[in-house]
Copies of this chain bind each other. A is one copy, B any other.
Amino acid sequence: MNQHLEAIHRTAELFEKYSHAVRVLQYDLETICPKEGMEEQGETIAFFGNEAYKLMKTEEFMAEVEAAYQEMDESWDSFDRALVRELYQSQLKNSKITPEMNLEFSRITQKAFTAWSRAKEAADFSLFAEPLAKVTDMERTIASLRSEVPQLKQETPYDYRLDDYEEGMTVADLDRIFGECKERLIPLLQKIQASPKKIRTDFMSREVTEEQQKKLAYKVLHFMNYDLNRGAMTTSEHPFTSEMARNDVRITTHYYNDAFASSLYSVIHEGGHGLFELNAPQENWEHHLNNKTMGQHESVSRFYENIIGRSEAFTNVLYDMVAECMPQVVEGVSKKEFYEALNTVTPSLIRTESDEFTYTFHVIIRYEIEKEIMNNGLDVAEIPALWEKKYKEYLGVTPSNDREGCLQDMHWTDGYGYFPTYALGNMYNAMYYNRMKEEVDIEAAIQSGSLAAVNAWMQEHVWKKADRQTPKEWIMEITGRELTPKDFLDYIEAKYTKIYEL
């Protein structure tokens, strides 16, 4: 092995130990840590995150990465090339950020997380405004520091952070993509709302116990072939997936006793993230490579959640599971009614509870607010008002408090740039869904009693190279085309035209 690479692997292994600890601590913080303990645990997380960061910032290590980057060629293992490329990129991005600054940034995000938890509980944005203002200053500082590095030069400050979550993605791209979405989705939403079709949804809020929901959740994970010897499911305020280690990828959910579909679909969504990690090539771990973008990740989770999870073949399977685990929910309900209820279009306040159709508007609203903050100097104190205005404009709804408004998501505690990846995920997955259909009889696969055949295609085409390719290379190799919202918009139009008999 190349001597620089050897040195890099040694440090990467150590880095992985610190990251493992930080991930467990963070997972614990978001799932179990008591309220009064969060601040100290946040400090501990920031400390270890920064110890890890320091490993990457030694002169010695940076020189090894630089040398490896210069020396590497096609004869190198593809995993090693991806690792060196990733490390070199991150070295460039962090070149102006000292460990002291990095520690300060971690503290800012940790404090923001604690403040957000409390603010959300109190439904009071004012408790979050100051910590979020600090996050915002941090985001602007990061953008400004990056702009000093010639190789990283972007058009606008927001672009620096978009690129962190989805390599190569820019405001210009997203303005175009979301522009196309609005152009087709707004008139379609009007048609749906004008449709005389009535979908029955009364049974969706029938009371269920936590035990019933848990039983259903495990049944669904089993159907998805989620290996619980290498994973776990627990609860948290905001569902998420955490890849702790090679053989430990966990998901969380949240149970509501009057909305069985909420936990059910968050389990399918997070289960999708989990499958992606659990089925990544084992070589990734051996090469210390974990380089999926959020857009790639969300494409998978939302593929399982929506394209598979809300298809009629799948809701028919779910219907039988629900009938077994919580019979009261489907008593007197037909399979058709069940399918339609899970696909009803209802402009609403909460992103994670929203339907597949209106979801995109929730993302666009957040994108437009983030852009205002990052590129046009919007003061965070203005967020609640702007939030209200945009929800009114796009969806015609108004939050009655901040908990169901701008405090609903935890993402901003970490800064800006994540949300667009949810929508990009929908674009990617609609594109590869069209490819998958050519090769897999998805309906038959679902009826066969597990998602094994779907997972196998995903593994071969979507999961295998994700860590080694940029998103642009990746979607091109899977579909032979560049990213476009067209497939997604066509899919949405076809699906809802049929359901609403337009």
Contacts and interface: CB of A to CB of B under 8 A. Distances in A.
A148 B366 CA distance: 67
Interface string A232-253: 1010000000001111101000
A222 to B, nearest CB: 15
Contacts of A234: 32
Given A28-B28, A44-B17, A37 B210 contact: no
Interface residues on A, range: 35 or more
A48 interface: yes
A34 B228 contact: yes
Contact of A209 (B39, B47, B211, B248): B211
A472 interface: no
Nearest to A39: B247
B244 A36 contact: no
A495 to B, nearest CB: 36
B34 A247 contact: yes
Contacts of A247: 34, 36-37, 39-40
A295 interface: no
Given A34-B231, A228-B34, A247-B34, A40 B25 contact: no
Contacts of A245: 37, 40-41, 44
Contacts of A41: 20, 24, 244-245, 248
Contacts of A44: 17, 20-21, 24, 245
A37 B209 contact: no
Contacts of A209: 211
Interface string A30-59: 001111110111001001100000000000
B32 A232 contact: yes
Most buried by B among A47, A244, A250: A244
A309 to B, nearest CB: 24
Nearest to A28: B24
A25 B32 contact: no
A400 interface: no
21 contacts: A17-B44, A17-B48, A21-B25, A24-B25, A24-B28, A24-B44, A25-B25, A32-B234, A33-B232, A33-B244, A33-B248, A34-B229, A34-B230, A34-B231, A34-B232, A36-B227, A37-B244, A37-B245, A37-B246, A40-B246, A41-B248
Interface of A: 17, 20-21, 24-25, 27-28, 32-37, 39-41, 44, 47-48, 209-211, 227-232, 234, 244-248, 250
Query: Which are the 4 A-B pairs with shortest beta-carbon distances?
Result: A37-B248, A36-B247, A36-B230, A37-B247
Given A20-B40, A21-B21, A41-B245, 16 more contacts: A17-B48, A20-B41, A24-B41, A24-B44, A32-B234, A32-B250, A33-B248, A34-B229, A36-B248, A37-B245, A37-B247, A39-B247, A40-B247, A41-B244, A41-B248, A211-B211
